[in-house]
Structures are given as structure tokens and as C-alpha cells.
Amino acid sequence: MSEHRPQLEITRDAATAAARAAEIVASRVASGAAKVLGLATGGTMVPVYAHLVAAVQARKLSFHGVTGFNLDEYVGVAPHLPASFHAYMRQHLFALTDFAPDHAHIPDGLAPDLAAEASRYEMAIAQAGGIDLQLLGIGSNGHIGFNEPGSDFASRTRVVELSEATRRANAVAFPDGAVPEQALTMGVGTILQARDILLLATGVEKAGAIAAAIEGPLSTDCPASALRLHQRVRIICDEAAASELDGPTADIRRRA
């Protein structure tokens, strides 16, 4: 597989980066180019979903006929609990828009047979025709979805062990301190099958991961570096997240 340079857009701040990501998602959905969306969670996506919700409420956008596949879910966290990604998606997107509940897919972290659930999820993506546009955040250790460093670039949806760094970063959602040790996540290979990929990173805590993803070695040490194996990746960063880029990509500045 050959390497490609992701298209990079650097905005002056996080709010502008989120608005730009939302604009791209909204225009692809509105044109019918993105009928199947890969959806992400995390703090970075909250303002993106807020823009999309505002557009739906202003009747400028509709998710009618759109299918969503979320990247991941914690193992053992019931969907009604606020820390689950099911609850996150209801709170930030699904319950506030016309997204059809039966078209909103999230891995079932309570499934009695997690390996069977992972295969079922892969099959559901395939049956929907594959993902048109995959929205991604990035962990400060370079993870995408919950594919931690070391994840094989050919990996598929599966159960993974969460790293200590990731468990610490997500601990705020678990006030009782019971941060799950495992998650179900689409694999790096699953993500790379999306037709288009849009990664959004904001804040200085993502600067090292963004530099490693774009300018570091192509290595499972930084799972996001695998995105360079895909021809149609756009990365939107604010200045803070772009602050450790020092190769030729550092010259690309798009101040909106």
C-alpha cells in the first residue's frame, strides 16, 4: 500500500475547526454523498454535533435516510448510563435530530458474546454498503476509535484493552472511578475502508499525536499514522493541535 499526504487544514481556534468539520459533514449529507456516516464521540465532537443539531433545527439539514455507525463503546457499560457512548450520542445528536433510531448503530458493549457482536457489527457496515464519511477524533497517544498503540493496521472490529493513558483521559465520565478496562472498537482496517475520512483535533494536548500521525514514522506506535495509507483523508486542526508540526506540512496554513 502506498503512502499519501492527508489534506491538512489549520484553523485559528477550536471553535472554527469544529464549525469547519460540521460544514463538511452537513454538505456531504445534504448532497446525498454521505448516506452512511461513521460517527465519533469525545469532547472534540461536542461542538461539531451542536452545529449539526442547529442546522437540523433550522430545517437546513436532515438525517432522514442517513445511517450511522459509531466507532466504539465501552464493554460492560449499560446504554442508559451517562458514561456510555450510547448516552453521549443520544444527548448530543440522535435525540435532537431526525436521525432514525433504527439507523443509529453503536457496538453493544453488553453483548454476551463480544466476538460475535464484533462480527455482527462488521457485517452490518458491509450490508449498509460501507461507510461514506468517517468522522474521527484522536487520542493524545495517537489512538483512533479505541485502537491503542500497537493495534494492527489490518485490525477489524474487536474487543480491546484500554491503555492506562486512555483510562485516565476518560476518567471524568466515571465519577465512581470504575473506568472500564475494555472496549469494542472498529479496527484500524475497518476505519481505512471508509470512502472518506475526516479527522478533527483541537487543543495542545493533541499536538504530539498530530505531529506523529502526519510526520512521524508509519508505525503502529501511532495508530493514526495508518491514515496515510488512505487516499482521501482530511485533517482539521486548530493552531494548538498543529503546534508540533515542523515538516513541510507546517507551511500549510488555512486561517479561516
Q: Does residue 166 touch ligand GLP according to CB under 6 A?
A: yes
What Rg value do the Cα atoms of the chain yield, rounded?
17
For cell 432514525, the residue is: 100
The residue at minimum Cβ distance from ligand GLP is 137
Q: 8 by DSSP, 3-state: which?
A: strand
Is residue 157 within 8 Å of residue 186, measured between CB atoms?
yes
Catalytic residues: 72, 141, 143, 148
Taking CB under 6 A as the rule, does residue 139 contact ligand GLP?
yes
Give the one residue of 72, 132, 148, 196 binding ligand GLP; rule: CB under 6 A: 72
Asked if 43 is part of the footprint of ligand GLP (rule: CB under 6 A), the reply reads yes
Neighbours of 74 (CB within 10 A): 26
Tell me which residues in 75-104 interact with ligand GLP (CB under 6 A): none
Which range, of 112-120, 133-141, 216-224, 241-249, touches ligand GLP by CB under 6 A?
133-141
The residues, any chain, with a CB within 8 Å of residue 46's CB and separated by 6 or more, are 92
- Residue 69 touches ligand GLP, criterion: CB under 6 A: no
Determine the Cα–Cα distance for residues 229 and 241; give it in Å rounded to an integer: 22
The answer to the question of residue 41 lying near ligand GLP (CB under 6 A) is yes
Binding site for ligand GLP (CB under 6 A): 40-44, 71-72, 137-139, 145-146, 166, 170
